[in-house]
C-alpha cells in the first residue's frame, strides 16, 4: 500500500534530506502528497527529522514537484519513468518489506541488474538505484549530492531522457513490449 511505502521509506528520505540540509544550508525540498490521508504521516516524518521549514508539500501534484527540482529523489516505480519523461535527473530508492524481499530472493525472483524503468529502457544506466540495505540516508544524500555537484552530468542525463521521450513517442507499444520481453527473458 502507499501508506506502507511512506512508512517504510519516508523516514529514510527525511533523514537523507536532513543530511543534505546540513551540507547545503539553502537547499529546499518539494514533496508531492498523493492523498490527503498521507499528509499527517509525511509532516510527522519531516518534523522528526528537524527540517519541516525546508519542505513544501504539494497535494497530489507530482509533476509540479518534479519540474521544480534540480534532482528528483523518489521511490522506484512508475514515478521514475515520469521523472525521466520530464528530463529530470533522478535518484531512486526502494526497500521491499522484509518478508517480500526474503521470498523474492529465496525464490530467485530478483534477477534484474537494474530496477527503474528508465534504466531498463536506456543503454547506459542514468538513474542511481539504491535498493534494500543500500538505501541508507548517507548513501541517498551522497547520490543526490553527486548529482547536484555535477551540472554537466545533469545536462547529459536530461538530454538522454529527452531522447528516450522522443523514442517512446515514436513507437511506444513496441518499445514497451520489447522491454517486458527482455526482462522476462533474463
Q: Are 32 and 61 in contact (CB under 8 A)?
A: yes
Residue 83: closest CA among 95, 94, 67: 67
pLDDT of the residue at 114: 77
The alpha carbons of the chain give a radius of gyration, in whole angstroms, of 17
Residue 160: how many other CB atoms lie within 10 Å: 18
- 52-72: average pLDDT: 94
Q: What is the pLDDT of residue 123?
A: 87
Q: How does pLDDT run across 93-110, given as a tens digit for each residue? A: 987 766 665 666 666 555
What residue has cell string 525464490? Answer: 107
CB 31 within 8 A of CB 75: no
- pTM to 2 decimals? 0.84
Say which DSSP state 72 is in.
E
CATH class of the region 2-185? alpha beta
Amino acid at each position: 500500500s502507499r501508506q506502507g511505502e511512506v512508512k517504510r521509506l519516508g523516514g529514510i528520505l527525511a533523514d537523507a534530506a536532513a543530511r543534505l540540509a546540513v551540507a547545503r544550508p539553502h537547499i529546499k525540498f518539494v514533496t508531492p502528497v498523493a492523498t490527503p490521508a498521507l499528509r499527517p504521516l509525511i509532516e510527522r516524518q519531516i518534523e522528526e527529522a528537524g527540517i519541516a521549514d525546508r519542505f513544501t508539500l504539494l497535494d497530489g501534484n507530482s509533476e509540479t514537484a518534479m519540474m521544480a527540482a534540480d534532482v528528483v529523489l523518489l521511490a522506484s516505480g512508475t514515478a521514475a519513468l515520469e521523472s525521466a519523461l520530464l528530463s529530470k535527473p533522478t535518484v531512486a530508492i526502494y526497500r521491499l518489506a522484509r518478508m517480500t524481499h526474503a521470498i523474492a530472493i529465496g525464490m530467485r525472483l530478483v534477477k534484474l541488474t537494474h530496477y527503474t524503468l528508465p534504466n531498463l529502457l536506456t543503454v547506459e544506466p542514468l538513474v542511481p538505484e539504491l535498493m534494500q540495505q543500500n538505501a541508507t540516508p548517507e548513501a541517498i544524500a551522497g547520490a543526490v549530492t553527486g548529482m547536484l555537484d555535477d551540472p554537466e552530468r545533469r545536462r547529459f542525463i536530461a538530454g538522454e531522457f529527452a531522447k528516450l521521450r522522443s523514442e517512446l513517442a515514436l513507437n511506444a507499444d513496441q518499445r514497451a513490449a520489447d522491454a517486458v520481453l527482455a526482462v522476462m527473458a533474463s
